[in-house]
């Protein structure tokens, strides 16, 4: 098969990155895999031969509004130049929004089947915040109905299609995000990055509204009233950072909160964390929660992503409703109070996640099968 892919993951251009390694493995199964990546000129990227079968093409757009037009132009040029064959070629897109629109236009021109990947629960009522997100919902509903193949990363997304009576041309494939094993958790408080805290609550999240970090701060204020030695450590960047810093000051918790910014290697943070917290209002999957579980950190999370699927409340994690700040606080207090509960939950979660992880070959087989089914459906 000839595969033409559209996405926005610029880590593909980083030699040795997880996504680059995984994509190289995919490429071995195809005649050619061409990937157009949304990027700005300021990113300084150039076309790259990732492997004999895989070629990357950055859009190098003047601004974000040009991503779609530039990707369509590049896509047409590449398909003609590389002699993609009708009946053997598939267009796959990393989302059913901007990249999906590019794929739909190119697929229509060359009469190739369209394969869409859905990584976020865009039909969640929390997703529609602002004009752009509302447009994405409309676009997503339109495009997934046009696709000959659809891959979702969690059962939650599939259930949301059924809930909203979305009728597809195909049977969607549930294929989670590929997980790799981290270094096992080996706590050593002597080298902990925050020795001033006797109990560390860790968050790894973009600082955006949908992550509801303000809920974590509210819950943490309640925790501090009982356990003043606790600390909240937040790794991540985003547009809400200044607002959250001020909010922490207003709540009088800033002295026990650390905003670290973007952290590329979180292994040391995970090794020293006593609890991992996620307060998102929607997720398609929730990779950071899975990473924490694999590192042996007990998890408190909202009911999003793979909660209820991989994470089971009371068995291997604590799950609360979105916006339930008192529920978050009570679960954290329970974990601080009961060391045995932390141990039981973390061990169960690690075992449950590990049991679900396929080998890279098995995962690649499933990924390729989804594209083959897309071709058959056309």
Instruction: Give the whole-number percent of the chain exceeding pLDDT 70.
Output: 97
Higher pLDDT, 8 or 268: 8
On whether residue 181 sits in a domain, the answer given is no
State the pTM of this model. Answer: 0.91
Instruction: Give yes or no: residues 106 and 155 share one domain.
Output: yes
Residue 177's pLDDT band (boundaries 50, 70, 90)? Answer: confident
Residue 69 contacts residue 77 (beta carbons within 8 Å): no
96, 134: one domain:
yes
Per-residue pLDDT at 18: 84
Checking if the pLDDT of 188 tops 80, the result is no
Look at 40-44, 317-321, 361-365 and tell me which has the smallest mean pLDDT: 361-365
* Tokens found for residue 239: 């547009």
Residue-wise pLDDT for 98-115, tens only, equals: 999 999 999 999 999 999
Q: Are residues 151 and 193 in the same domain?
A: no
The beta strand positions in 166-235, using DSSP E, are 173-174, 199-204, 230-235
pLDDT, averaged across the chain: 94
Is 204:271 a contact under the CB 8 Å cutoff?
no
What would the mean pLDDT of 137-141 be, rounded to a whole number? 97
For range 69-75, the mean pLDDT: 98
In the chain, the DSSP E strands lie at: 2-7, 32-37, 48-49, 54-58, 89-93, 114-118, 149-152, 173-174, 199-204, 230-235, 257-261, 275-278, 299-302, 318-320
Asked whether the CA dihedral 108, 114, 119, 123 is positive or negative, the reply is positive
The pLDDT of residue 131 is 92
Q: Would you place residue 290 in the very low, low, confident or very high pLDDT band (cuts 50, 70, 90)?
A: very high
Same domain, yes or no: 236 and 169: no
182, pLDDT greater than 80:
no
DSSP SS3 for 48: strand
Is residue 6 domain-shared with residue 151, that is, in the same domain? yes
42 vs 178, more confident: 42
Q: In the numeric block, which tokens belong to residue 251?
A: 């709540």
- What dihedral angle (degrees, nearest 10) is formed by the CA atoms of 149, 154, 158, 164? -120
66 belongs to a structural domain: yes
- 286 within a domain of the structure (yes/no): yes
- Per-residue confidence at 186, pLDDT binned at 50, 70, 90? very low
Between CA 327 and CA 302 the distance in angstroms is 10
Residues 162, 248 share a domain: no
Residues 28 and 136 in one domain: yes
Spatial separation of the C-alpha atoms in residues 297 and 346, rounded to whole Å: 6
User: Is the per-residue pLDDT at 322 higher than 50?
Assistant: yes
**Are 163 and 205 part of one and the same domain?**
no
Residue 226 has pLDDT above 60, yes or no: yes
**pLDDT of 207 strictly over 50:** yes
Say yes or no to pLDDT of 354 above 70: yes
CATH at residue 158: 3.40.50.2000
Q: What pLDDT band is residue 351 in, cutting at 50, 70 and 90?
A: very high
Mean pLDDT along residues 177-203:
72
Burial string for 98-110 (b: 16+ CB within 10 Å, else e) reads bbbbbbbbbbeeb
Q: Is residue 182 part of a domain?
A: no
How many domains does one find in the chain?
Answer: 2
The tokens describing 354, both together, are 């590990």
- Provide the residue range defining the domain that includes 312: 189-356
- pLDDT computed for residue 264 by the predictor: 83
Same domain as 298, residue 348 = yes
% the chain with pLDDT above 90: 89
> 371 lies in a domain?
yes
pLDDT of residue 189: 45
Is there a single domain that holds both residue 125 and residue 145?
yes
CA 235 to each of CA 202, 225, 309: distance values in angstroms, whole numbers, following the listed order:
8, 23, 26
């Amino acid at each position: 098969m000839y595969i033409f892919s559209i996405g926005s993951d610029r880590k593909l251009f980083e030699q040795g990155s997880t996504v680059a390694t995984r994509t190289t493995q995919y490429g071995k199964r195809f005649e050619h895999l061409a990937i157009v990546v949304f990027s700005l000129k300021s990113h300084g990227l150039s076309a790259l031969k990732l492997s004999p079968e895989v070629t990357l093409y950055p859009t190098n757009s003047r601004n974000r509004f040009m991503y779609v037009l530039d990707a369509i132009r590049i896509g047409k040029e590449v398909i003609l130049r590389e002699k993609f064959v009708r009946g053997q070629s598939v267009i796959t897109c990393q989302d059913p929004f901007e990249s999906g629109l590019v794929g739909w236009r190119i697929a229509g021109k060359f009469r190739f089947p369209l394969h869409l990947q859905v990584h976020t629960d865009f039909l969640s009522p929390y997703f529609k915040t602002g004009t752009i997100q509302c447009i994405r919902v409309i676009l997503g509903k339109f495009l997934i109905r046009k696709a000959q193949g659809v891959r979702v990363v969690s059962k939650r997304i599939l259930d949301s299609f059924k809930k909203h009576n979305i009728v597809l041309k195909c049977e969607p494939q549930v294929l989670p995000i590929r997980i790799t094993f981290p270094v096992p958790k080996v706590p050593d408080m002597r080298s902990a990055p925050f020795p001033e805290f006797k109990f560390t609550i860790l968050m790894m999240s973009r600082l955006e509204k949908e992550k509801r970090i303000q809920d974590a701060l509210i819950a943490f204020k309640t925790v501090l009233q009982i356990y003043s030695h606790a600390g909240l450590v937040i790794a991540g960047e985003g547009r809400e950072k200044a607002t959250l810093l001020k909010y922490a000051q207003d709540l009088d918790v800033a002295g026990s909160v650390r905003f670290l910014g973007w952290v590329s290697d979180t292994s040391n943070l995970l090794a020293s964390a006593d609890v991992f917290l996620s307060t998102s209002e929607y997720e398609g999957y929730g990779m950071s929660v899975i990473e924490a579980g694999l590192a042996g950190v007990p998890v408190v999370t909202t009911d999003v992503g793979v909660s209820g699927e991989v994470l089971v409340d009371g068995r291997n994690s604590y799950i609360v409703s979105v916006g339930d700040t008192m529920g978050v606080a009570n679960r954290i207090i329970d974990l601080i109070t009961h060391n045995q509960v932390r141990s039981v939950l973390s061990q169960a979660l690690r075992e449950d996640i590990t049991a679900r992880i396929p080998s890279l070959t098995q995962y690649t087989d499933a990924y390729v099968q989804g594209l083959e089914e897309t071709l058959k459906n056309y």
